[in-house]
Structures are given as structure tokens and as C-alpha cells.
Amino acid sequence: MKNDLIVEEMERELMRPGHMACPGCGEASTMRLVLKVLGEKTIVVILPSCVGVISATFPNATFAVPCFHSAFEIAAPTASGIANALKLQGREDVTALAFAGDGGTFDIGLQSLSGAADRNDNFIYVCLDNEAYMNTGIQSSSSTPQNAWTMTTPGGRRGRKKKFMQIIAAHRMPYAATASIGHPLDLMEKVRKAKEIKGMKFIHTLTPCSTGWRMPEDLSVKAAQLAVETKLFPLYEVIDGSEYRITHQPQGLPVSEYLKIQGRFRHFTKDDVDRLQKEVDEDWERLLAQSAMKGCV
């Protein structure tokens, strides 16, 4: 039965070809997989971001589902409004979905996202994290890794990447998870779960951007895999903000494997690499401890 469902999802195509994503765009591949699982009965909220460009360049539309183009700072409350209108109409078979970038999520949309999470509104929020404001020309966001190159941090960003899943977990929403195109079946399984759960669901996806990460376009999936296998971006779920579950055991490759394929880290010294490796190791130990405390708050 489950195999039939997976075949149906794989064959379903809700993203039309010929859209405006750069070759190797991690956001486009992520959205394609998410929509394969959610299916036709989905309404998508779109923000100013690369998604805005990918989804529609007048008069064309990329997604074969209804889309609502909203403002940069209000992905979550827009999806809340759609979800509540669907409820009033007795149409709870339709999924409200928001696609938002890291700028729209970690920075400008954080306050309104927090409000929607507090109300536990019934929608799925997929954060497409390419670690910068890419659509407007690669400006640093609070998701950009420390010392990474961007157009606004030519000597490397001074601030440190926000640990966003900790903020999300603190809201104690029914379901939150990390996912990536490097592990597509894991990603699809998480979307499948989110579809069945009532209330707010948040999926943090790492979406490599060959343009902004200064790497060849055919390395996006590899970059996504290396982020996971170096433990830099572990794959896990957080249920009700307290129950942590790791969904993939990483190989534990050195972070340098991930860094060396990307031009935005080309200036990294051995000290930079060692500092990042230490942070990744400490974060992984913390995640292991959290996942061992199943059921504890």
C-alpha cells in the first residue's frame, strides 16, 4: 500500500518545466519534492524570494496548484488565513503550505511566524534556507554561516548562523523537522507526516545555491549530502518541541569536505575550519543527548 503511494507521488509532477530557477537550484528541487507528496489539493503561499521568480514570470505559472503571492514578512499569517478559510468552508482536505526563504524566515518573517506557531494554525511552513538573500543579489542574512563570503560581507560575515530549529522547538509546535535534497526519501517521508498532523508544521530545508555558494551547478545535491554527512546539518524531527528523533545516522565526514567545494569558504584558514568543526561536534553531542531524552521536556 505504502509502495503504491510512493509510486503515485514519484509520478506526480506539479512543477512545470521551463521555469526561471538557476541550474542546480536547491529551492526548485525541494519544492518539486514537497509538491509531489502534498498533491493537487494544496494552496501555496509565495513570498518575494527566488521562489517568487521561479513560481511565476508573467504570464506563466510554474506550479500546477493555486498560489497566493504575499508580502515578504507575512508568509505564516497568510497561510494561517488560508487554513482558517478552508476550515470555515469545511475543506480540511486541502493543505495550506508556505514556501519562504531564510531571509523571509530567520529575519523579517520571524515575528509573524512566531504568532502563527503560538496559535498553532493548521499549515505547513517550508523554509528554503540557502543561507543568504539570494534573489536580490547574495546579501548576508542571519542564516549565513560565520565568516562566509556574501556580497555584503566580502571579507566574511562577522555574525554567527542563527540556530533556528532551537527557536522553532521553543514554540512547541506539533511537528518540526530538518530535511534536504541530499536525502530525498527522508524529506518526502517528513512531508507525508506533516500532511497528516493537525496544527503547525515547520520543515527546515537546506537548499544549496550554486550561484551564491560559488560552486559548480552540478554539485548542489552533493553539497546537500555533505552538509548532512559531516553533521553540519543533521536530519531530525522534533515532536511537540521536546521529543527529538534523529532520522539519519551521518557518516561523520570532516566539515572540510563540505567547505572545500564552495567558493564562499575559499578564504577559510585552518583556524576557521577547526572552529567550525568544534562547533559541529558540540552541536551533534547536544542533539544526541536531546534525542536520548525521549519524552522529557
Of residues 204, 139, 220, the one with CA closest to residue 171: 204
Please report how close the Cβ of residue 124 comes to ligand TPP at its closest, in angstroms.
Answer: 17
User: 133 or 244: whose CB is closer to ligand TPP?
Assistant: 133
Q: How far is CA 95 from CA 40, 69, 84, 143, in A?
A: 9, 16, 11, 27
Stretch that binds Mg ion, among 124-132, 157-165, 197-205, 278-286 (CB under 5 A): 124-132
Please report how close the Cβ of residue 147 comes to ligand TPP at its closest, in angstroms.
Answer: 19
Q: How far is CA 54 from CA 2, 42, 87, 90, in A?
A: 31, 18, 29, 31
Question: Strands 236-239, 243-246: parallel, antiparallel or unpaired by DSSP?
Answer: antiparallel
Among 48, 62, 63, 102, binds Mg ion (CB under 5 A): 102
Q: Which three cell numbers stand for residue 195?
A: 500532511
* Number of Cα atoms under 13 Å in the Cβ half of residue 124: 27
User: 102 or 237: whose CB is closer to ligand TPP?
Assistant: 102
For residue 62, give every residue at least 6 positions away whose Cβ sits within 8 Å of its Cβ, in sequence order, or none.
15, 16, 19, 54, 55, 56
Please report how close the Cβ of residue 49 comes to Mg ion at its closest, in angstroms.
Answer: 6
How far is residue 38's CA from residue 55's CA, in Å, rounded to a whole number?
17
What letter does residue 46 receive in the DSSP assignment? E
User: 75 or 235: whose CB is closer to ligand TPP?
Assistant: 75
Can you list the pairs that 292-297 forms with residues at least 24 positions away whose Cβ atoms lie under 8 Å?
Answer: 293/244, 294/243, 294/244, 294/245, 295/242, 295/243, 296/242, 297/241, 297/242
Residue 130 interacting with Mg ion (CB under 5 A): yes
Which partner, ligand TPP, Mg ion, none, binds residue 175 by CB below 5 to 8 Å per kind?
none
Please report how close the Cβ of residue 151 comes to ligand TPP at its closest, in angstroms.
Answer: 12
Question: Strands 175-180, 201-206: parallel, antiparallel or unpaired by DSSP?
Answer: parallel
- Return the SS3 of 125: strand
Residue 101 interacting with Mg ion (CB under 5 A): yes
Which partner, Mg ion, ligand TPP, none, binds residue 48 by CB below 5 to 8 Å per kind?
ligand TPP
Binding mask 53-92 for Mg ion (x = CB under 5 A): ----------------------------------------
| Residues at the contact surface with ligand TPP, assessed by CB under 6 A | 27, 48-51, 72-73, 101-104, 128, 130, 133-136, 141
Which partner, Mg ion, ligand TPP, none, binds residue 104 by CB below 5 to 8 Å per kind?
ligand TPP
User: 125 or 244: whose CB is closer to ligand TPP?
Assistant: 125
Residue 27 interacting with Mg ion (CB under 5 A): no
Binding residues vs Mg ion (CB under 5 A): 101-102, 130, 134
